[in-house]
Amino acid sequence: MKILVGLGNPGEKYSKTRHNLGFVVVDRLARRFGVEVSRRRFRSLVGEMSLDADRLILVKPLTYMNRSGLSVKRVLEHYACSKESLMVICDDLNLPSGRLRIRGKGSSGGHKGLESIIASLGSTEFPRLRIGIGLPPQGEASEYVLMPFLKGEKGVVEEALETACEAVIDWVRGGIDQCAKKYN
């Protein structure tokens, strides 16, 4: 069993913002495989699917970004899964727009959602897939992440989202090392 958590903020107000790329990847995978991520459990929206011989739990925390760890911990405890069976998808200010970075462990890099998960799990050792959104040209990062993408950025982001979906599928099938080698 694998657990895929897409980070974002709930509500229409945030649906098209840079900070919701994790939600977008979960939604795209759900559509691709004909699954609904609509069951309310663990302070999240949850869906389940099979991919080859693996059961995949799709999760979108409803706790808002800064408290994502509360949901993630409950999901892992309920399904009795190890942290290595978890993949967290989020945006990343420190990566150029559209670039992916996949790691099996690591720091939060200042991402509040990852900070919350690390604090709740008491560990930095869980896989994550970061999707670059680039640094803000000016202003505060907290405002930038809650803005929609500009028209000129949409092509790069669209390609990154499709690649992220493929990376998740490869992670389920081949593990984190193989996935990181292919997409980093």
Catalytic residues: 19
Give, for 39, the enclosing helix (H) or strand (E).
Answer: strand 39-41
User: By the 8 A CB rule, do 36 and 53 touch?
Assistant: no
62: left (phi over 0), alpha (psi -120 to 50) or beta: alpha
- HSE value, Cβ hemisphere, 13 Å, CA-based, for 35: 21
Name the β-bridge partners of 92: 132
Name the β-bridge partners of 3: 57, 86
User: By the 8 A CB rule, do 102 and 183 touch?
Assistant: yes
Angle at 147 between CA 89 and CA 24, to 5 degrees: 30
| Distance, C-alpha 154 to centroid of its chain | 19
